[in-house]
Structure 1
Amino acid sequence: MKKIVSVNIGMFHYVLDHVYGAFMHRTNLSTPFFSRGWGGTKLELLERMVTKLFPGVEGENWPPTIVQPIWKTIWESKTAILREGVFQSPCDEELFGALPPECHTARVSFLAPKSAPPQKMACVVHLAGTGDHTFERRLRLGGPLVKQNIATMVLESPFYGRRRPVLQQGAKLLCVSDLLLLGRVTIDEARSLLHWLDIEEGFGKMGICGLSMGGVHAAMVGSLHPTPIATLPFLSPHSATVAFCEGIMKYGTAWEALRKDLAVQMATEALTLEEVRERMRNVLSLTDVTRFPVPKKPDSVIFVAATDDGYIPKHSVLELQKAWPGSEVRWVTGGHVSSFILHNDEFRKAIRDGLDRLPWKESPQ
């Protein structure tokens, strides 16, 4: 009986993902992803630029440009302070030129405890999942950790929130190149913020986390960081290929627009849908985190995955754990959507445990 109940609950969560996905991706409420095609010369640029992040070259991109956010205080209490800051994206000049103007200025929210100096505290940078346009959800996730002297820094991704291009509806990126651009610039900005937290603020421990798409970016950032940090990807695939070619989001992708665009590029009408999907798999293979270096302290890498995730298949999570020996996978009961809502305590525990496995940074003499 217990096994039957468990199977039924798992099926409920899996079906919930599909119902939510049908509402979000199979209705005419908004345009699908990539309705304007591949991105032309921007895609060629991104394919070149993204490869700079691959194994063996991480040192070439370090140290990053040190950002100097302009801060304003949102509120302050006896125990904590919340500030918001803005800074110009520190990404490569070519990438900066490829960004829509709305994306040039980055925004960040910073919730820090006041009970100890930074050297005795940790800070975790939280990256956005698909459709997470504001700071609030990630601040709610990190907020209770203030009591454990863990600060939360939330980055607003390019193409999201106030950085959303005028012609873009919600989270539905217009071109495939936008997805790569969003990821590469997010990684550059997150690395610069971690450098700022380390050099300018002097935090004793640091981490990077994110849910879904944000988890993929967090894994990349943690992989490339030159010193040990906690790396915490939640409900995340090992590659964007899984999300758009295997999971529910494939139903929200403008395959016919991509087919027409590719046919023009190849000067042919005889293109089948499978050829278009193979092109997508090849392009998004650039986001395959198993091709990235193993983080400096693999036991501080904790994946949290859902047992009945309709967006992220189990094999994808296990592929990344296999590529990073020493990392840990924790399973929560639920689907992609329900786990966002129900399992914040498990996410917070993973953050605490990942940070606990790090040594404190030695204070300068």
Structure 2
Amino acid sequence: MVSLSMDQLLRKVVFTKFFTNGWGPEHQLLQFIKFRRVLGNRLECASRVKDDTPIIIEKVQNRSDHTITSGHFLSPIVHIAEGILPKESENCHFELITPKQWPSSSRQPVCIHLAGTGDHGTLWRRQQLAYPLLKKGIGSIIVENPFYGVRKPPGQLRSGLLHVNDLFVLGGTLTVESLVLLRHCERLGYGPLGVSGISLGGHNAALAGLMWHKPLVIVPCLNGLSGASIFTQGVLARACKWSKLEEDLQSYRLRGIQHLAAHLMQQVDGVQLRSETGFEYDDSANPHSNISVPAHFEIPSHLHNPDIAQLRQSFGDSFDFMRWLMDEVSHLQRMQVPVSGSRIINVLAKDDEYIPRYPGQLSDIWNDCETRYTSGGHVSSCILKLDEFRKAISDAFDSFDGS
């Protein structure tokens, strides 16, 4: 009998499909590739986000030992990349949770918590992260992901993003929205400030953290350097609608969209085409392949799933394009590093099958990044190791001096 890990078992019983409508409208995909130039530059990104973004406070709840302030604001992405975000996602909704009694008048720490896949609303992060951190004197901001909860567009089932491009837009949107919230915290006198997240939220926390212009607490958990391995090697590869992606890819090829996308990449940061068409993926030509991988970060061979190998045989072109596109758009090594003096703790799972073996981890590309490991896989860590994530956040704030 073949035993299934918790990561594999959850994928078997959860039937949500990703990217059922393909890669996304080509004009939006190309628009985001252009926008990535903004995300890759801290100063330019900050200049696109207005200092006076109006924040609407909807409700203030005074509890015995804390206050919950709910609000929203128009996402800066609406003006930066017009039309790229669904109307339903244009307003960023957040919840600010602060203690009635801070550790001191000069120290009022607040951490932004970005959502992982499937984390709709604010309840889970409020109960599992914000309230326990209150006991440590740390306030929290819980942000609703675009494409999630009250920001979910029609036609999307649960967390199953309709297009590959939606994933890029989600991350880029949260990056600029986090800048608005960090500035809001500064105006209120809070600090030190931090950003954290688990899984998808961990990757987005890393993106948001490196865009801030001052030292920051950054605690990404269960994240990868890029989405490439997640959707071509991890268990989520089986959740993608590969037949639709392959169909779309043929249409892109006929209209020259692939070549145009590669041309835009070259304009953004001088990326060299890997082949005449630009999308035959070759690990030897991968600019990140020279990063060493610690042996303890590899997935054990007995956990490798033959189903993914079969998918790759059937949809090889789409697998190659997915790896190319994810690496070019989302790889953290293509971005700037966080400001010197930031306190960074990266928490990873040793047997993570959602975030599989990848060439490198944050500590390989970010100086002064401490790496911690939980035993078990992705799902078991999300359920059973929350205390280790909370401890990493608390430790990071405790040891942060901002110098």
Please state which band the TM-score falls in when normalised by the shorter chain. Answer: 0.7 to 0.9
What's the counterpart of residue 215 of structure 1? 202
What's the counterpart of residue 158 of structure 1? 146
What's the counterpart of residue 86 of structure 1? 72
Give the secondary structure class of the aligned counterpart of 1:97. coil
What's the counterpart of residue 20 of structure 1? 10
User: 1:24-45 CA deviation, whole Å, 9 max, x = no partner?
Assistant: 2xx4xx4x21111111211111
CA distance in 2: counterparts of 1:265 and 1:296, whole angstroms:
39
Q: CA deviation at 1:314?
A: 4.8
What's the counterpart of residue 33 of structure 1? 18
Q: CA deviation at 1:351?
A: 0.6
CA distance in 1: counterparts of 2:400 and 2:316, whole angstroms:
46
Q: Does 1:335 align with 2:377?
A: yes
Is the 1:118–1:202 contact (alpha carbons within 8 Å) kept by the matching residues of 2? no
Is the 2:216–2:342 contact (alpha carbons within 8 Å) kept by the matching residues of 1? no
Q: Does 1:62 align with 2:62?
A: no
What's the counterpart of residue 128 of structure 1? 115
What's the counterpart of residue 189 of structure 1? 177
Map 1:228-267 onto structure 2 (within 5 A): 228-267=215-254
Q: CA deviation at 1:74?
A: 5.3
Aligned CA distance change for structure 1 residues 350 and 50 (closer, same or farther; 3 Å): same
Give the secondary structure class of the aligned counterpart of 2:77. coil
Aligned CA distance change for structure 1 residues 357 and 307 (closer, same or farther; 3 Å): same
User: 1:66-89 CA deviation, whole Å, 9 max, x = no partner?
Assistant: 333222345322321112111111
Give the secondary structure class of the aligned counterpart of 1:162. helix
Matched AA of 2:20: S
Q: CA deviation at 1:58?
A: 1.2
Alignment gaps of 5+ in structure 2: 256-312
CA distance in 2: counterparts of 1:273 and 1:279, whole angstroms:
10
User: 1:173-219 CA deviation, whole Å, 9 max, x = no partner?
Assistant: 11111111111111110111111111x11212000000001110111
Q: Does 1:113 align with 2:156?
A: no
Alignment gaps of 5+ in structure 1: 1-10
Matched AA of 1:305: L
Q: Mean alpha-carbon deviation: is it higher for 213-222 or for 271-280?
A: 271-280
Matched AA of 2:242: W
Give the secondary structure class of the aligned counterpart of 2:354. coil
CA distance in 2: counterparts of 1:96 and 1:208, whole angstroms:
26
Matched AA of 1:59: L
What's the counterpart of residue 268 of structure 2? none
Map 1:240-319 onto structure 2 (within 5 A): 240-267=227-254, 273-285=315-327, 286-297=329-340, 300-315=343-358, 318-319=360-361
Q: Mean alpha-carbon deviation: is it higher for 333-342 or for 90-99?
A: 90-99
User: How many residues get paired?
Assistant: 339
Give the secondary structure class of the aligned counterpart of 2:76. coil
CA distance in 1: counterparts of 2:314 and 2:373, whole angstroms:
38
Equivalent of residue 136 in structure 2, options 113, 130, 148: 148
CA distance in 2: counterparts of 1:104 and 1:118, whole angstroms:
35
Is the 1:210–1:218 contact (alpha carbons within 8 Å) kept by the matching residues of 2? yes
Aligned CA distance change for structure 1 residues 298 and 278 (closer, same or farther; 3 Å): farther
Give the secondary structure class of the aligned counterpart of 2:19. coil
Q: Mean alpha-carbon deviation: is it higher for 245-254 or for 117-126?
A: 117-126
Is the 1:118–1:203 contact (alpha carbons within 8 Å) kept by the matching residues of 2? no
CA distance in 2: counterparts of 1:69 and 1:143, whole angstroms:
24
Give the secondary structure class of the aligned counterpart of 1:111. strand
CA distance in 1: counterparts of 2:183 and 2:80, whole angstroms:
22
CA distance in 1: counterparts of 2:340 and 2:130, whole angstroms:
22
Is the 2:111–2:141 contact (alpha carbons within 8 Å) kept by the matching residues of 1? yes
Matched AA of 1:163: R
Aligned CA distance change for structure 1 residues 102 and 119 (closer, same or farther; 3 Å): farther
- TM-score, normalised to structure 1's length? 0.87
- TM-score, normalised to structure 2's length? 0.79
Aligned CA distance change for structure 1 residues 266 and 71 (closer, same or farther; 3 Å): same
Cα-Cα RMSD: 2.2
Is the 1:307–1:314 contact (alpha carbons within 8 Å) kept by the matching residues of 2? no
Aligned CA distance change for structure 1 residues 94 and 352 (closer, same or farther; 3 Å): closer
CA distance in 2: counterparts of 1:84 and 1:42, whole angstroms:
31
What's the counterpart of residue 3 of structure 1? none
CA distance in 1: counterparts of 2:206 and 2:38, whole angstroms:
16
Q: Mean alpha-carbon deviation: is it higher for 149-158 or for 318-327?
A: 318-327
What's the counterpart of residue 283 of structure 2? none
